[in-house]
Structure 1
């Protein structure tokens, strides 16, 4: 009887000495986690799909900045489609899909998260040039160059994570202490440097510069607003538009930092820090939630997104020549 009870607590009862024990959550807690993560996953997929369709379909939205937002939406879409269901599977008492599938899931998820971080750096650089060097913005930041940067961003994300997960791909389950566990040991000094410290530092430095210049320009415009001619008024309006875009994308960057920093700062605190499973799940969920919040921020700050969503949900995009619609 005692042996049957012990076997029931193992992930693989036939492997008495090497099987992991089941860590079963209370039923109410497990149901709450499933419902919340599933809802966030569905919402993330739908909202980011709307962003992808909007920017891809309407020619008026094919600007360099929006191409970066498109790249961010693709990575966020993949987070909702792949990373969140994977996180739900990790909340199960045992991992039953094998070591190789575990490693591949981590690889795909790390690629999407890495691409989001690098895209945030590109978005920050785009606003940096637009505000700090506006006269040369349209010559420096072109759609062709942005597309190349996006391709390099995804290529870097794939190469970087394949390189760091190479041992896991060759020998799946290398760091598992028992059968029924899905564990990848990637966080280290080099990984923290390239996936967190360098991107976050670059983002903060550029946006501090952006807002310093934006504040000084806003003061200058207020002091000279009565003396401007009609021609200069158009220039002032354009500058205000650039600053509004900088503020809107600044909110996206700020939310990104708030969602990503807790996860990495815990590991910066030291390897000996003990984290409860619930706390780790909360940090990962916060990191994942960022992918759901990005399109919500766009809907709040950008009228073109609201207009394009209206055209999508009413199926007006199926009309001929709808891609040329005026939604700005």
Structure 2
């Protein structure tokens, strides 16, 4: 083996038909189908019902689109790269790994935008209408996706390790992200985008939690309304009038949803980010010459990325009362339509029989 180049020391990490890899293959396909189903439901609900089209939900809709693309695009291309279905041409491998950059970037930036929007709404409710508008939300979403796609396409336009492989006359032995992407580009992606994005997202949500908690303690207590429903000071036992929720109370659940999604996202992205840092030696090398991180770390990171896109719509659906209510409404309407269509078909059949 040529020890001077060091490339031959890195054993190929292609897809092997072992029981563990087959299980991972089946789990990823199952997760991809479920991701498409759940995120499609969230997208349809927010697009269909006007009451759900809040600014926060519009930004979370961008995240749902990113999660949907995980099932539609990221998982299939990852599995195609693993089995080298399109061969091991380096440009094909680069194209197959583009979703690995675009989707996490768009997802984290959408979460950051939603957290900033909630922070402005809670910290400065009077100035909120001056800062947030439909035009600014639309510009934010467009910027998120233009930036993510531009970052993902940089390797196609030359920021890759093709030239170094040609100089060393080293054929491509793997088709995964770490095998075809330049170390400096991966450093920009991980150390310049994902890590700062996760830290900023965590700080934003901690700030949100502190503000909501302080406002909750300062809010006027409604404890004078007894659990039986009668108002303190009234002796006639009349039922207390309905007390509407304050903006802080309505925002508390949204902040809780953002906190949960934020922590789940960070935990799911950490393993694969650590693997990249280890293999690229803190992004000081252009091409990986020796696999240092265990392969299981990449496998776990890929699976957790799919789980993150699967869990996000579940959190939105179960923790958001309005989304849950409109989901039940949509299911009820569809059942009613199906029942009415069935009854109409029965009537038409009986009418045809009588005519015949």
| TM-score, normalised with respect to structure 2 | 0.73
> Is residue 100–residue 172 contact of structure 1 (8 Å, CA) maintained in 2?
no
Give the whole-Å Cα distance in 2 for the aligned partners of 1:184 and 1:270. Answer: 13
- Alignment counterpart, residue 56 of structure 2, candidates 35, 40, 65: 65
Give the whole-Å Cα distance in 2 for the aligned partners of 1:114 and 1:312. Answer: 32
| Aligned counterpart, 1:99 | 90
CA offset digits 1:44-91 (Å, max 9, x no partner) = 011111111111111222211111111111111011111111222343
> Is residue 160–residue 182 contact of structure 2 (8 Å, CA) maintained in 1?
no
- Alignment counterpart, residue 202 of structure 1, candidates 182, 186, 200: 200
| TM-score, normalised with respect to structure 1 | 0.79
Give the whole-Å Cα distance in 2 for the aligned partners of 1:223 and 1:307. Answer: 28
Give the whole-Å Cα distance in 1 for the aligned partners of 2:207 and 2:260. Answer: 15
| Aligned counterpart, 1:288 | 306
Change (3 A) 1:52 1:174: farther
| Aligned counterpart, 2:346 | none
Query: What does 1:173-322 correspond to in 2, within 5 Å?
Result: 177-179=170-172, 181-182=174-175, 183-188=179-184, 189-221=187-219, 226=224, 234=244, 237-268=246-277, 271-272=280-281, 274-313=292-331, 316=334
RMSD, matched Cα? 3.5
1:135 match: secondary structure: coil
Unaligned runs of 5+ in 2: 1-7, 226-239, 282-290, 338-356
Give the whole-Å Cα distance in 2 for the aligned partners of 1:316 and 1:23. Answer: 46
Give the whole-Å Cα distance in 1 for the aligned partners of 2:181 and 2:137. Answer: 33
2:42 match: secondary structure: helix
Change (3 A) 1:161 1:90: closer
> Is residue 34–residue 88 contact of structure 1 (8 Å, CA) maintained in 2?
yes
2:158 match: secondary structure: helix
> Is residue 52–residue 73 contact of structure 1 (8 Å, CA) maintained in 2?
yes
Give the whole-Å Cα distance in 1 for the aligned partners of 2:29 and 2:181. Answer: 26
> Is residue 94–residue 180 contact of structure 1 (8 Å, CA) maintained in 2?
no
> Is residue 76–residue 116 contact of structure 1 (8 Å, CA) maintained in 2?
yes
- Alignment counterpart, residue 34 of structure 1, candidates 6, 17, 25: 25
Residue correspondences, number:
300
CA offset digits 1:274-320 (Å, max 9, x no partner) = 1222221111221232111100101210133233334545663997x
- Alignment counterpart, residue 73 of structure 2, candidates 82, 89, 103: 82
Moved more, 183-192 or 133-142: 183-192
Change (3 A) 1:187 1:114: farther
> Is residue 39–residue 65 contact of structure 2 (8 Å, CA) maintained in 1?
yes
User: C-alpha displacement at 1:97, in angstroms?
Assistant: 6.2
User: C-alpha displacement at 1:264, in angstroms?
Assistant: 1.8
1:117 match: secondary structure: helix
Change (3 A) 1:317 1:24: closer
- Alignment counterpart, residue 114 of structure 2, candidates 123, 132, 141: 123
Larger Rg: 2
Give the whole-Å Cα distance in 1 for the aligned partners of 2:100 and 2:153. Answer: 12
| Aligned counterpart, 1:157 | 148
Q: Which runs of 4+ in 1 moved over 6 A?
A: none
